[in-house]
Chain A
């Protein structure tokens, strides 16, 4: 929750210096309800995005998603992108381009932004304040970055009635934010050096801030008119269907403002991390918007036809595959299952995931109790957890090569191939 807070607001301490407790309490409440709402237990263990079920998806569709992102990245101001469907991860891309050698863009996604929650309201697109190099499970620390987006995305996420009030409130926030300095804290560095760097950033940021602020106000006014339309997006100018909100990135010491571009088509969300100048660029936004609009609509139409996970028949095994690079999770465990077997699977997975994260050399493990035998394996890039359905066959627990627990590795290798998980 703290990471999520920091992603949008910067450091907690600074936020409390800049905002009233009441203001921040509202944000905390939102993050908390978000985290409690959309996540399964597995989600909490890995704090990552869930992928769509690749077994039921045409590989061409994935290609299509990749092409959309590629097209967006033709704009040099776009740093990285990601497509989600109903809160599940479809595809992502990251640019290798980096302005300074000290700041390579990591291909790592924020594990859960507020935008990955499926939203009933089919229309919204926005720009959010965020830090691209963060995830809830990540080690990075964050620092302050005033959010101009807080109210607008709350109104869309929470679908609250009384949009007018919210808009007014957000205007207050925005105005307050306008004059805020931007600061990062640097452990182990001298105060002076720190301040210098910070000043550079904040100068740029503040200049940018005022125009951004106006945009946002425009957006909010338009939002009310546009609500309810099929592919509607709050826009700054009549032809745009996107909204820019401030994003900042912190890498060790330097915090960099960034913007998060969002375009939603029903359950489908395209998110792009973009340079701050994206917003003021004469036609970058238009280009990105137009290059992706048609394909997004097409992709959404296809993805909509995929059966929801609840309709997919249960397999005789349960698995979870965690991609450490993309910070995504693929599993055939349906939703919030509360069956005994599922709970045992989750418990064993949690234990081993934590063991993996402490022990770099650990590659493979089998753990077995009387009612559950779990096989886990990992590479630097991924972790996979696998159980057979049903309690293990009766046995004494004495070492025995015939023991079914020891056949789990080969079963997992065989079974998971069709899920796109290659353990060979």
Chain B
């Protein structure tokens, strides 16, 4: 409804000249990554967009008599926008963040390094905020799939747009499917609506699973000789998008919520479970008992488990699913060509060790389908991953050096506050020797490094001055190149993986273990439908239409819920932590608050008022809540601060005081021991 109003308003206001718009016939949804020189590195369009473009450009035949290639049409269409945006950035140091055309199409733009991302919507289904989010998610995908290669524009360009057509198709297909999977999940799955990991709550099963993963699976695998030098760091079981059990080994860093959400998208891409199709009417369920679902907080991190989800992340979104039906007949999956499940996916994840924080560390991800809809995921540390850490440390050092040089801080002052430049020199030399001992090709890095040393350390050279800047940049590119050579997916040797036998053994073990639980869960889920019973409609229910039922009313309510989340995020972005809205027949409430570890409610503070073009609030692409907690913790140095959100929808006829009373009851319930084993 929002957008319709907006749209008609625009079309009225600009009606006088909309006939002159050149983009009238262009379609619905599109996302594009381009260089500043208007080279398209990647694009995704929906069918409608594609059809419209073909219609628009199909008539203009080339000399050959054939209509132009689709990619060329995309180029033609976007070139003016890309060029004008790069020109603005070039001349004014600032570009567009979004604009809408007279026919109601919205364009959102964001530049990351030298890549310009453009997302388009022409069907009114997405706001510029949605488009911005999509762009940031796309950026997240490139980081997950390409790691630190994204830090070098020239290398990323080759990675995103390989010159080999077949390879390019593969990369693009992969990213396109990830985007589609993300869009589908965001539309259907509440955990991707609010961007939080959703847990299946079943205390006994959960505990047993974790114990099994720890004592049996991971331990056995890591002591096996078939693991080809890999080490299982994390193991988890997903039922659709929901987390049943998660275990991290003692040596592992915490897995961030952002990464976990991205990994779930990858799993959903490999083994999609279409929730809209997955419609099993719960016949046995009394029709009067409404699905009742509520948030519960993430339990305090335990000392028992060395590995757990990062403790400074906001509550992991837990969900009591009343009728999880894991019976095979109820789980429908889309019939897509299933890739060889034994081939791992290369992913790059954030890690924090005692040495420090390392973004984009290479891992191998094994997705083993137990049954349709249920997947075992293993994340392994791969051999040589210490190279990635060294690369990152050196990249950081050179970035700092570059910054100081460009600020005009020359001579040895350029490295004040960190290891002197001589130490950097030793470190690079050592790094190159290490690579050589590992049979990694380093000739290009060596050449660039010699050049750097000649400039910086010889009398004839300019010394440590601004003149070193180009050399700094080429060394960084070379470092990313080494990283790419070692870890990039396309350079991944097909031999480097846990052996098939080992994977099969793992699969069988978990299948065997879960087979009993599967039945147990089925019975349990049917008997224990109602955990809490309240007279009002509650947010958040199972977001998919399957819980709300079907039909126009369900759709209406679902759309209301979805837009409520967007609205409250907008107010949160502007610093409002309490919002109540009376909207039609409904009354919406949103509360955000902070607690310390003991559950004591901390005083509300003014939270930062973010500009309109800041990254979207959420956890998948940019972890707003982690930053929020860090901000709040500044004034609560000695406590572990946690942040909670509550969203409710009540019928508007309920008196406000009852609604508020109910909300505060719910908020209290959140703190009650959840009986759920810790992750």
Q: Write the residues of chain A forming the contact surface with B, with a CB cutoff of 8 angstroms.
A: 11, 13, 139-141, 143, 185, 187-188, 347-348, 351, 355, 357-371, 373, 394-401, 403, 405-406, 409
Contacts and interface: CB of A to CB of B under 8 A. Distances in A.
Interface of B: 1-2, 5-6, 9, 12-19, 567, 571, 574-584, 589, 591-594, 601-607, 646, 656-657, 660-661, 663-664, 666-667
Query: Most chain-A CB neighbours within 10 Å: which of B12, B567, B580, B607?
Result: B580
A398 B15 contact: no
A399 B667 CA distance: 7
A369 B14 CA distance: 37
B422 to A, nearest CB: 50
Contact of A359 (B1, B18, B657): B1
B601 A358 contact: no
Given A394-B603, A396-B593, A139 B12 contact: yes
A360 B15 contact: no
Given A141-B13, A369-B607, A371-B606, A397 B577 contact: yes
Question: Looking at A357, A362, A364, A398, which has the most chain B CB atoms within 10 Å of its CB?
Answer: A398
B19 to A, nearest CB: 7
A370 B632 CA distance: 13
A403 B579 CA distance: 13
Given A362-B583, A406-B656, A369 B18 contact: no
B583 A358 contact: no
A358 B6 contact: yes
B601 A396 contact: yes
Given A13-B17, A359-B1, A401 B660 contact: yes
A405 B578 contact: yes
B580 A366 contact: yes
Contacts of A369: 575-577, 606-607
Contacts of A347: 574
Contacts of B664: 398-401
Nearest to B658: A401
A47 B567 CA distance: 24
Given A369-B576, A370-B605, A398-B591, A355 B567 contact: yes
B583 A361 contact: yes
21 contacts: A139-B13, A141-B15, A141-B16, A185-B16, A188-B15, A358-B5, A361-B584, A362-B583, A364-B580, A366-B578, A367-B576, A367-B579, A370-B607, A371-B606, A394-B603, A396-B593, A396-B604, A397-B578, A398-B591, A399-B591, A399-B664
A367 B571 contact: yes
Given A141-B16, A187-B16, A188-B15, A368 B582 contact: no
A301 to B, nearest CB: 43
Contacts of A367: 571, 576, 578-579
Nearest to A351: B574
A363 B593 contact: no
A115 to B, nearest CB: 25
A395 B667 CA distance: 15
B659 to A, nearest CB: 9
A252 to B, nearest CB: 9
A358 B2 contact: yes
A398 B12 contact: no
B603 A365 contact: no
Given A361-B1, A397-B578, A400-B664, 14 more contacts: A141-B12, A187-B15, A188-B15, A348-B576, A359-B2, A361-B583, A362-B583, A365-B580, A367-B578, A395-B604, A396-B594, A397-B577, A397-B601, A399-B666
Pick the 8 closest A-B CB pairs, nearest first: A187-B15, A399-B663, A396-B601, A364-B582, A397-B604, A361-B584, A368-B578, A397-B593
Nearest to A6: B16
Nearest to B577: A397
Nearest to B578: A368
A365 B578 contact: no
Contacts of B667: 398-399
A348 B579 CA distance: 12
Nearest to A141: B16
Nearest to A11: B16
A13 B657 CA distance: 56
A185 B13 CA distance: 12
A360 B1 contact: yes
A19 to B, nearest CB: 18
In the complex, which of the residues B15, B660, B663 has the most CB atoms of chain A within 10 Å of its own CB atom?
B15
Contact of B606 (A13, A365, A370): A370
A369 B578 CA distance: 7
Nearest to A139: B12
B673 to A, nearest CB: 18
Contacts of A397: 577-578, 591-594, 601, 604
Contacts of B567: 355
B646 A399 contact: yes
Contacts of A139: 9, 12-13
Contacts of A368: 576-579
A347 B609 CA distance: 11
Given A371-B606, A396-B603, A360 B5 contact: yes
Nearest to B656: A406
Nearest to B3: A358
A400 B582 contact: no
A187 B19 contact: yes
Nearest to B12: A139
Contacts of B576: 348, 367-369
Given A141-B13, A358-B6, A359-B583, A351 B571 contact: yes
A355 B569 CA distance: 13
A369 B604 CA distance: 8
A105 to B, nearest CB: 19
A143 B16 contact: yes
A114 to B, nearest CB: 22
Given A187-B16, A368-B577, A398-B664, A363 B602 contact: no
Contacts of B591: 397-399
Nearest to B2: A358
B612 to A, nearest CB: 11
A363 B586 CA distance: 10
B603 A395 contact: yes
Contacts of A188: 15
Nearest to A400: B664
Contacts of A401: 657, 660-661, 664
A355 B583 CA distance: 11
B137 to A, nearest CB: 24
B606 A362 contact: no
Nearest to A357: B5
Contacts of B601: 396-398
Nearest to A406: B660
A362 B581 contact: yes
A140 B13 CA distance: 6
A370 B604 contact: yes
Contacts of A11: 16
A13 B9 CA distance: 21
Contact of A365 (B18, B577, B582): B582
A366 B579 contact: yes
A187 B593 contact: no
Residue with the highest number of chain B CB atoms closer than 10 Å, among A185, A351, A357, A396 = A396
A348 to B, nearest CB: 8
A357 B660 CA distance: 27
A166 B591 CA distance: 61
Nearest to B644: A398
A134 to B, nearest CB: 12
Contacts of B657: 401
A36 B660 CA distance: 43
Most A C-beta atoms less than 10 A away, residue of B17, B581, B605: B581
Contacts of A399: 589, 591, 646, 660, 663-664, 666-667
A261 to B, nearest CB: 28
B100 to A, nearest CB: 14
A199 to B, nearest CB: 19
A234 to B, nearest CB: 35
B574 to A, nearest CB: 6
Contact of B582 (A355, A363, A394): A363
